[in-house]
Chain A
Amino acid sequence: MNHYFYFLSLVLLVMGLYCLIAKKNIVKKIIGIVITEYSINLFLILVGYRHGGIAPIFLKGMQHEELVQKGVDPLPQALVLTSIVIGLGTLALMVALCLRMYEKFKTFDMTKINTLKG
């Protein structure tokens, strides 16, 4: 049953890419990028998912075998934390650029922002 969950991240990924390609508003494009990033984060978390898993911390009175059998993989969670932070950095830059573009062009419409050609 577990692998059906992966469809969640696929759906998010497709939605994000659609938003990125089809929408003309640059704010919506930014939202699209963020959704795609989050779909990958979800995928990473699902890679480390284990049904009925416990936190990978060795507590007093716990058997080694119990931790090996039930403990979830902590690495994907660490990766997701890093990737969320990176995503935040990118998002901040995107929003800052978006604001500066609005000051210059007085519009959020990507089709009207076309000074570069050839």
Chain B
Amino acid sequence: MQTYYPLFTAIPLAAAFLNLLLAKISMKVSDYIAFLVTGILAVMSVEMLFEAPFIYAVGNWRPPFGILLVSDGLSSLMLVVINFISLLSVIFSMKYMTTYTAKPKYYSLFMLMIAGMNGVVITGDMFNLYVFLEIASIASYALVGFGTGKKELEASFKYLILGGVASTAVLFGIAFLYSITGTLNMPDLAQQLELVGMTKTVGFVVALFLMGFGLKASMVPFHAWLPDAHPSAPAPISAMLSGVLIKALGVYTIMRIMFDIIGRNELISAIIMFLGALSMVIGGLLAVGQKDFKRMLAYSSISQMGYVMIAVGLALKPGAELVVATLALIGGLFHLINHAVFKSLLFLCSGAVEYRTGTRDFRKLGGLIKKMPVTGSACAIGSLSIAGIPPFNGFWSKLIIILALFRGGYWIYGTVGVAVGFVTLIYFVMLQKETLFGKLPESLSKVKEAPFAMVLPLVILAALCVAMGIGYWAIEGQMLDSAANALLDKVAYMNYLIGG
């Protein structure tokens, strides 16, 4: 597997261009290409879980000079999440995207986005990270505006302007890091920054990164684009954006840089925890009043990412006991995976509902569980897990995060976490009442169940929600522990410079 590591970006990049060429011959072919590519990537990413950490020097250049690809517990975990969700989104798109024109272009942009996200996750080079970040971002700007209606264009433009500022901030930070240390290799940067210490310049770099990556992760002061952009995209893309993109480009990068490169720090920990708590509360409260299916889900994404960020912030605290830090990180990473599963499930459900009814306004929906039993039950399972009802997966991850907060002595944040859990429950009960149960409007009396290609991903994701809730202990040892240790062990990361 080790020699094939760069294929995680090379395959989708090549497929993105081939797809457009082959689509000239037959439009049908792009469905199969997309399915094949994401299928291969998903299988490869599962295989990566069983690999010991290794490095791959691109073009055989020695590490501090050439580009380095790093594989450790965290990156293989992220690869599984990215590629598995994208496979299911592609299956869903086959039927759903027939309502749009220019399907081959859609798949090409989709492939570019996957290439960018995989690249961000596997790379060990700062500037390479920026390049892949931009590839994924530019593809996502275009995908948000794919419908080219008034709303889509406006949302896409807003997202583009804010995303452009964020990318500029990231590049500025990278330029500063280069001017301090004279290197861009991430393990080497970690070593050099150890010598430099926490100077004012490094503090400024941290601020720039928090702004840039925080905007991609939609932490609260930088969240304004998300409730516009995520609902405007086609449903499978909303699932990808909320389920994967904000995590790969935002949360993963923040974790990797703050833990492994800058190092654990009191002030950064306090800031990230505060922003996390703010995201949790504000996202949750804003979601309550929403009348649009997808817009409510988008606000809930902000709120749920707050949970992950607060856990990351707690683990970043240098004074925290190892037990607390590990517990917080395991909770955060578990919530990250869970959120990827149930948020993409819910967005795909909203897509299935919109496909059959033509609307996602709560005032025009209702009683759909009788007409669309499979979609309805999947949607119910998704909302129960995100609201944190045992035994679904969302309950366990929130429980672990809140336990870690209490154990670390953060009583206020812990209480806020519990309170936001209740708020989440309120708006997801509302969502269920308005769409699945209640009275069926006259106009929807002829609605049928969604087609098979759309139901299949929903069933798989709903099954995962239940399986990960009940079988939590099975994945905890293999995946979460090694990912959490990869983050907490900065010395091991620095040693990748000399070949692991």
Contacts and interface: CB of A to CB of B under 8 A. Distances in A.
A116 B148 contact: no
Contacts of A93: 138, 141-142, 160
Contacts of B24: none
B295 A118 contact: yes
A107 to B, nearest CB: 12
Contacts of B227: 118
B495 to A, nearest CB: 24
B179 A100 contact: no
B260 interface: no
Interface in B286-309: 289-292, 295
A40 B165 contact: no
What size tier do the contact residues of chain B reach?
35 or more
A116 B160 contact: no
A97 B145 contact: yes
B286 to A, nearest CB: 8
Interface in A56-98: 73, 75-76, 79, 82-83, 86, 89-90, 93-94, 97-98
Taking residues whose C-beta sits less than 8 angstroms from the other chain, chain A's interface range is 20 to 34
B228 A116 contact: yes
B72 interface: no
Contact of A94 (B154, B160, B228): B160
B153 A100 contact: yes
B218 to A, nearest CB: 16
Contacts of B157: 26, 94, 97-98, 101
A54 to B, nearest CB: 19
A47 B127 contact: no
Contacts, number: 91
Contact of A118 (B145, B149, B161, B290): B290
A67 B182 CA distance: 18
A90 B142 CA distance: 10
B172 interface: yes
Contacts of A75: 178, 184
Interface string B63-89: 000000000000000000000000000
Interface in B115-136: 127, 130-131, 134
Contact of A82 (B131, B142, B153, B182): B131
Interface string B451-494: 00000000000000000000000000000000000000000000
A20 B166 CA distance: 13
B380 to A, nearest CB: 25
Interface in A39-64: 40, 43-44, 47
Given A47-B175, A86-B134, A20 B154 contact: no
A79 B175 CA distance: 9
Interface in A11-37: 13, 17, 20, 26, 29, 33, 36-37
A5 interface: no
A86 B131 contact: yes
A105 B157 CA distance: 13
A93 to B, nearest CB: 6
B168 interface: yes
A104 B142 CA distance: 17
B172 A116 contact: no
A76 B178 contact: yes
Contact of A47 (B138, B150, B179): B179
A111 interface: no
A20 B162 CA distance: 10
Given A76-B178, A97-B156, A115 B172 contact: no
B168 A97 contact: no
B175 A36 contact: no
B171 A83 contact: yes
A113 B167 CA distance: 24
B155 A116 contact: yes
Interface string B26-57: 00000000000000000000000000000000
Contact of B151 (A13, A47, A115): A115
A21 B286 CA distance: 25
A115 B127 contact: no
Contact of A90 (B138, B178, B184): B138
Interface string A103-114: 011000000011
B164 interface: yes
B160 A79 contact: no
A56 B184 CA distance: 19
Contact of B153 (A13, A89, A101, A118): A101
Contacts of A29: 161
A73 B168 CA distance: 22
Contact of A79 (B127, B156, B158): B127
Contacts of B150: 104-105, 115
A104 B141 contact: no
A73 B158 CA distance: 37
Nearest to A91: B164
B160 A36 contact: no
Given A13-B172, A79-B175, A101-B154, 13 more contacts: A20-B161, A20-B165, A36-B165, A43-B175, A44-B175, A86-B167, A90-B160, A94-B164, A97-B153, A101-B157, A115-B150, A115-B151, A116-B158
**Top 9 A-B pairs, shortest CB-CB distance:** A47-B179, A33-B164, A86-B134, A116-B228, A44-B175, A101-B153, A36-B168, A104-B150, A115-B150
Interface of B: 127, 130-131, 134, 138, 141-142, 145, 148-151, 153-158, 160-161, 164-165, 167-168, 171-172, 175, 178-179, 182, 184, 227-228, 232, 289-292, 295
